[in-house]
Chain A
Amino acid sequence: MSPKTLYDKIWDAHVAHESEDGTCLLYIDRHLVHEVTSPQAFEGLRMAGRKVHSPEKTIAVPDHNVPTTAGREDPAQMTEESRIQVEALDKNAKEFGVHYYPVSDIRQGIVHIVGPEQGWTLPGMTVVCGDSHTATHGAFGALAHGIGTSEVEHVLATQTLIQKKSKNMKVEITGKLKPGVTAKDITLAVIGETGTAGGTGYVIEYCGEAIRDLSMEGRMTVCNMAIEGGARAGLIAPDETTFEYVKGRPHAPKGAQWEAALNWWKTLYTDEGAHFDKVVTLKGEDIQPVVTWGTSPEDVLPITATVPSPEDFTGGKVEAARRALDYMGLTPGQKLTDIQIDTVFIGSCTNGRIEDLRAVAEVVKGKKIKDGMRAMIVPGSGLVRAQAEEEGLADIFKEAGFEWRLAGCSMCLAMNPDQLSEGERCAATSNRNFEGRQGYKGRTHLVSPAMAAAAAITGHLTDVRELM
């Protein structure tokens, strides 16, 4: 038998039907659902008189719209339209009998944080959600990607997706990371290298010593942003770190089933000599703490660099860079560390897990945020929030001057009350710096949690290594 990649193995294990032209029906093990991309799908089922094929494999949680301030049970805290979407999910979850974590449940949070936390996401699974950051779950060696609402309806109705196989890409990060460099810097550095279209048509497998050394939280951060590199899915082969994380979670297998599952999971790795269509290699020790300067996640530079000039680019990127500099209000040649910050946002499915909050606490402990700074920390789930309180992190944040919020997507995408105002400049641990992403004419610099914490203290983009 010819050697297979990890992607090949998971794909092969999920083909329920293959047509002559190679179009497959891929079986879906877990379907995660949130309030923004699902109402039209449930409505479609209702109109066609269809049921949810496997409600026991379908997990719903509201996250995009929900306010993250105290007293949010009060519907008046949401706009009318947001409330309608959340209420539609309440109603649909009940009517179709899927697993549901309402806003009032402590387990509620960002769908990509809740899934792994509850043990819904397991190695070797196929996981989909009407959200491009579904790539996050690839950290477990699960084939996980975002889908549109028509496909949400398709999965609800049939538990399958019509798919053709993607190409295989290997991203290897060799060696060790330097102090101050995190999983976020790895994933941004990779996008800086490949561009936002570099992964289009591919499933990425991340490997190498620096990836192996990451915790599950760090691996989720890396895979989360596979989509910003254009790849629908990112994968990391499961290992002891993975099994340790999964074991004992509410929906993880137990007893004899655990043993059986473990036996299969241990076969999930890329065989020696398997073919990759594209290979990218970065040296871990070359990666520095990075920051984005523009309005595309590929606009990445080490924090020690200066703002580039449109003339540094070629082709269509020249005009895009000019537009980005104008939008961001930056001047070529300006030092990145001279950029003043109004707001710091720490949270999101990229960096809203406990390890991220510990990294922030390490930087801000005993310090105060800059006068006039608006700084908020939004845990990724109610359970992350509870754990951070138990570990004393919340007290550190509050003493430093941060707002300590309830769980949700918050300012990552400004579909809820947390938004930037026109011209407001934010250091954010989220995943997209698109125009208007965090609010109309808001300006976003993507950074790691430690770098965001450093900016909150100094009031400008800062090399976190100087505070260590």
Chain B
Amino acid sequence: MEKFEKLHGIAAPMPLVNIDTDMIIPKIFLKTIKRSGLGVNLFDEMRYDREGNEIEDFVLNKPQYREAEILVAGDNFGCGSSREHAPWAIADFGIKCVISTSFADIFFNNCFKNGILPIVLPQEQVDLLMKDAEKGANARMTVDLEAQEITTSDGEVIPFNVDAFKKHCLLNGLDDIGLTMEKAGAIENYESKMSQERPWV
């Protein structure tokens, strides 16, 4: 997995609440057996008309946000399905960090598995970052995972929380399966104990 350390980039504002996984990547694009190539269909139904032409006033179609690497979004981002195609599409587009007041649990976890940093902040601070993002391409934000700080284009610093283990994995680009396999002994012990206690499982 790609490491996430420090990001200095354009933030796109998407204030709509409850942006669900069907909006992020409609199901017709789930019929792939690959992880890559979904970025072009990110937010497909909001981004293109039925003929496949770009809808001009959709945020990521505006010239100033086409290279966005950060998304500042409304409450409850990523609700709905467990489809990892949602973070795959976001990462494939080039977005590495999403900021909101809350995320759906499964989506939140899926982000970390794909080198995306989801940041939860209080409403007031998300509002402030939303305003900063609305300034466009000349106003770049900095997200520093090591220091756990966001710096706005005006130099205002906003600290954020992140789970220590998830931070460690993201900073070092670690593969969860490899880490777990180092604990194979504990899993084996559990299994042999359970074959006595709950043999019907």
> Which residues of A come within 8 Å of B, CB atoms?
16-17, 19, 21, 23, 25, 27, 29, 36-37, 39-40, 43, 48, 50, 57, 65, 79, 81-82, 84-85, 88, 122, 124-125, 130-132, 134, 145-151, 153-154, 157-160, 162, 164, 166, 196-197, 200-201, 230-232, 253, 257-258, 260-261, 264, 296, 298, 315-317, 319-320, 323, 413-415, 422, 432, 434-437, 440
Contacts and interface: CB of A to CB of B under 8 A. Distances in A.
A352 to B, nearest CB: 18
B31 A21 contact: no
B201 A29 contact: yes
B177 A48 contact: yes
Interface of B: 15-18, 20, 22-23, 26-28, 30-35, 45, 50, 74-76, 79-84, 87, 102-106, 109-110, 113-114, 163-165, 176-177, 179-181, 183-184, 186-187, 189-191, 194, 198-201
B76 A197 contact: yes
Contact of A154 (B26, B163, B176): B176
Given A37-B82, A132-B81, A196-B79, 10 more contacts: A16-B186, A27-B194, A40-B34, A147-B82, A150-B110, A150-B176, A197-B75, A230-B105, A296-B20, A434-B20
B113 A148 contact: yes
B18 A196 contact: yes
Nearest to B168: A21
Nearest to B30: A36
A296 B45 CA distance: 16
Nearest to B198: A264
Nearest to A43: B33
A146 B106 contact: yes
A70 to B, nearest CB: 23
A311 B138 CA distance: 35
A231 B106 CA distance: 9
Contacts of B30: 36, 415
The 6 closest A-B pairs by CB, nearest first: A253-B200, A146-B82, A81-B31, A150-B113, A316-B17, A39-B33
B102 A197 contact: yes
B24 to A, nearest CB: 10
A232 B183 contact: no
Which of A50, A79, A298, A437 has the most chain B CB atoms closer than 10 A to its own CB?
A437
A435 B177 contact: no
Contacts of B33: 39-40, 43, 84-85, 88
Nearest to A23: B165
Contact of A65 (B26, B31, B45): B31
Contacts of A21: 164-165
B79 A25 contact: no
Given A148-B110, A316-B16, A440-B45, A154 B177 contact: yes
A166 B114 CA distance: 22
A160 B106 contact: no
A48 B75 CA distance: 38
A88 B50 CA distance: 30
A85 B103 CA distance: 29
Contacts of A148: 82-84, 87, 106, 109-110, 113
B113 A17 contact: no
Contacts of A164: 163
Contacts of A197: 18, 75-76, 79, 102, 104
Contacts of B176: 150, 154, 162
Given A81-B31, A81-B32, A158-B177, A122 B200 contact: yes
B107 to A, nearest CB: 8
A435 B45 contact: yes
Contact of A162 (B17, B20, B180, B199): B180
A395 B35 CA distance: 45
A131 B190 contact: no
B22 A437 contact: yes
Contact of B114 (A132, A147, A150): A150
B184 to A, nearest CB: 8
Nearest to B79: A196
Contacts of A147: 82, 106, 109
Given A146-B82, A196-B79, A435 B23 contact: yes
Nearest to A319: B16
10 contacts: A81-B31, A125-B201, A132-B80, A134-B82, A145-B106, A148-B109, A320-B16, A414-B28, A432-B22, A432-B80
B198 A261 contact: yes
B166 to A, nearest CB: 9
Given A17-B186, A25-B180, A37 B83 contact: yes
Contacts of B183: 16-17, 25
Nearest to B183: A17
Contacts of B165: 19, 21, 23, 162
Contacts of A435: 20, 22-23, 45
A187 to B, nearest CB: 16
Given A153-B177, A316-B75, A436 B22 contact: yes
Contacts of B16: 316, 319-320, 323
A316 B74 contact: yes
Which of A23, A154, A258, A264 has the most chain B CB atoms closer than 10 A to its own CB?
A154
A79 B31 contact: yes
Contact of B31 (A82, A125, A264): A82
A448 B81 CA distance: 21
B84 A37 contact: yes
B104 A25 contact: no
Contacts of B177: 48, 50, 153-154, 157-158
A154 to B, nearest CB: 5
